Chains A and B, each alone.
Chain A
Amino acid sequence: MLELKHISYRVSTPEGELDILRDINLTIPDRELAVFTGPNGGGKTTLAKIIMGLARPTSGQVVYNGEDITELDITERSRRGISYGFQQPPRFKGITVQDLLRLAAGGEKLSKDRCCNYLTQVGLCANDYLDREVDASLSGGEVKRIEIATVLARGGEFMIFDEPEAGIDLWSFARLTETFEALHRQKSATMVIISHQERIIRLADEIIVVAGGEIAHRGGTEEIFPLILADTLGSCPVIGRKEAR
């Protein structure tokens, strides 16, 4: 179980102090799929980064399986089972897809079949990719899918995916959604997915709407989805005008 207690994150800007997150309290039970959604700049990614240790909260506590991990670094959190799929993954000259999957799996000798399996789950053909370097020769969508495959290969108990759909074509996205669905069905990991996609949001046990540095809404799909749609329409001046006619 993951507990975020009174998490705040403040940064200094030329205009003064800016609160990115304000007193967030959140519990994510084991084996649950939670989707963080909400407007851009609302604080979703910062919140996810605070779970992984990529950002340190200004105040508050991160408690994982009863242990206060607020002061632990990324490596230690990773070794406790937390993993993270970046929205914009880095590229590595000289490191192949197979190397990266093996590193993700903990340096063990990962069989070609296992590598193939992870790549298939993200819609890539292993034969085409295993020996390719994760460098600029790969498209953004390819690197993104390889990134997700590394999280799968890591096999952690707590997986975070930051906008896995970003940069991925429609066909691969369908495959990816099936993968998330299957993972959730197997109940092998707790998942946090940051997403704006309806198909992913609908997979959630709980939807957490993060806006303005706070949790604006949270609840089940049936309860929250209509609110998201209402918010979306409400914030669009064109639709608002049409409806007013």
Chain B
Amino acid sequence: MITDIDAALLEKIADLTGKPDAALNIRKDSGCEARQSTEHITITGKEDKPGIDIRIKDGTRGEKCYIPVIISKTGLSELVYNDFYVGDDCDVEIVAGCGIHNSGCDESRHDGVHTFYIGKRSRVHYSEKHYGENAPNQTGQNVMNPQTIVYLGEDSTMQMDTVQIRGIDSTRRYTKFVCEEGSEVVVTERLLTHGSQSAESEMEIELNGADAKGRVISRSVAQDQSRQVFYPKMVGNAACFGHVQCDSIIMGEAKVQSIPAISANCTDAQLVHEAAIGKIAGDQLLKLETLGLTPEEAEETILKGFLA
């Protein structure tokens, strides 16, 4: 049963309200809360381990698929495998995401392994949002460890938008792309940590085919005593182009490490990385105050824009 709390989580992590006219799988507290397939997108449960298979037929265009996960129990821990088989010539949007409403004092944890096998000439827009909250006066930790592994076929593109909204006490994220000839990947990562949270994000993009392109745009805000570590790595094994850009705003007593790496194994590979860590610039705050915002509103506006 979807409670009001679940509904609010679903809206927050997947912009999902009601039942959409699309392929859908809602996982709640390790069970299947809802599932529907469409003519072109089939969702089936795995038999050998927890998780689902999503099969998207060749030529599927303009369709969406929602596969959000919600946890409302305290002390629940799960490891889930979701495999996506995207055919050739598709143009689809996949919305994942995980929300935890921790009702008690024990750790709730979701480890999700998403593996994408994308055919040729397809376009996939994949988004996932992660969010955690506690019931009033409860202190259970919320943990999420997402892994995303993508095999991107020739001339295909994938845009991955991944956001950690707030409330995740610990996360270890691993993202890997293997890109064939003419394919293109754009990953945008937005991450907020606060309190004593910790986040580690490792990313590896292998550009294996000629004309493959990879772009990573990572923006993060570390508040209070939280800690963040980023390891984005771009590997050029062909005549390719790769760009890694990491920006972090550091606040309070937070600590941030950003360790981008570029590695070329071909003389025609062009790889660039940029990384910056800094606090909110004083002149940004002053400018917004001259527009009538209080210092607190100015800070909030800057962070909201940065993580948008």
> Which residues in A have some Cβ–Cβ distance to B below 8 Å?
52, 54, 73-75, 78-79, 83-84, 86, 88-90, 92-95, 99, 103-104, 106, 150, 154
| Contacting pair A90 B284 (CB below 8 A) | yes
Query: Is A78 a contact partner of B291 (Cβ separation < 8 A)?
Result: yes
B295 interface hit (Cβ, 8 Å): yes
Cβ–Cβ < 8 Å partners of A74 in chain B: 286, 289-290
Question: 3 closest A-B pairs (Cβ-Cβ)?
Answer: A95-B305, A94-B305, A74-B289
Given contacts A95-B301, A95-B305, contact A150 B283 (CB under 8 A): no
How far apart sit A3 and B194, CA to CA, in the bound complex (Å)? 45
**Restricting to B223-282, which residues have a CB under 8 Å from any CB of A?**
247, 281
Residue numbers in B under 8 Å from A88 (CB-CB): 283
Q: Once the chains bind, are A54 and B286 in contact (CB under 8 Å)?
A: yes
- Interchain residue pairs with CB less than 8 A apart (29): A52-B290, A54-B286, A74-B286, A75-B289, A75-B293, A75-B294, A79-B292, A83-B290, A84-B290, A88-B283, A90-B281, A90-B284, A90-B286, A93-B219, A93-B305, A93-B306, A94-B304, A94-B305, A94-B306, A94-B307, A94-B308, A95-B301, A95-B302, A95-B305, A103-B288, A103-B291, A103-B293, A150-B291, A154-B292
* Chain B residues within an 8 Å CB radius of A86: 283, 287
**Distance (whole angstroms) from the CB of A150 to the closest CB of chain B:** 7
Total of A-B residue pairs, C-beta within 8 Å? 57
- The complex places the Cα of A126 from the Cα of B308 at a distance, in Å, of 22
Measured CB to CB, the residues of B under 8 A from A are 219, 247, 281, 283-284, 286-295, 301-302, 304-308
* CB-contact partner of B287 in A73, A79, A90, A99, under 8 A: A90
CA of A24 to CA of B162 in the docked complex: distance in angstroms? Answer: 55
Q: How far is A207 from B5 in the complex, measured between Cα atoms in Å?
A: 64
Minimum Cβ distance to chain A for residue B89 (Å):
30
B292 and chain A: residue at smallest CB distance: A78
Using CB atoms, name the residue of chain A closest to B284: A90
* Interface residue from B283, B289, B291, B294 paired with A154 (Cβ < 8 Å): B291
Q: Are A75 and B295 in contact (CB under 8 A)?
A: yes
Q: Give the chain A neighbours of B286 by CB distance below 8 A.
A: 54, 74, 90
Closest to B295 in A: A75
Write out the residue numbers on chain B whose beta carbons fall within 8 Å of the beta carbon of A95. Answer: 301-302, 305
Chain A residue with Cβ nearest B297: A75
Which A residues are CB-close (under 8 A) to B283? 86, 88-90
What are the residues of chain B within 8 A of A78 when measuring CB–CB?
289-292
Bound state CA distance, A179 and B294, in angstroms?
A: 29
State A89–B286 Cα separation when bound (angstroms): 10
Q: Known pairs A75-B289, A78-B291, A79-B292; list 20 more (Cβ under 8 Å).
A: A73-B289, A75-B292, A75-B294, A78-B290, A83-B290, A89-B283, A89-B287, A90-B283, A90-B284, A90-B287, A92-B284, A93-B305, A93-B306, A94-B304, A94-B307, A95-B301, A103-B291, A103-B301, A106-B292, A154-B292
CA distance A79 to B306 in the complex (A): 25
B303: nearest chain-A partner, CB-CB: A94
Q: Which residue of chain B is the closest to A93 with respect to CB atoms?
A: B306
Inter-chain contact A92/B290, CB cutoff 8 Å: no
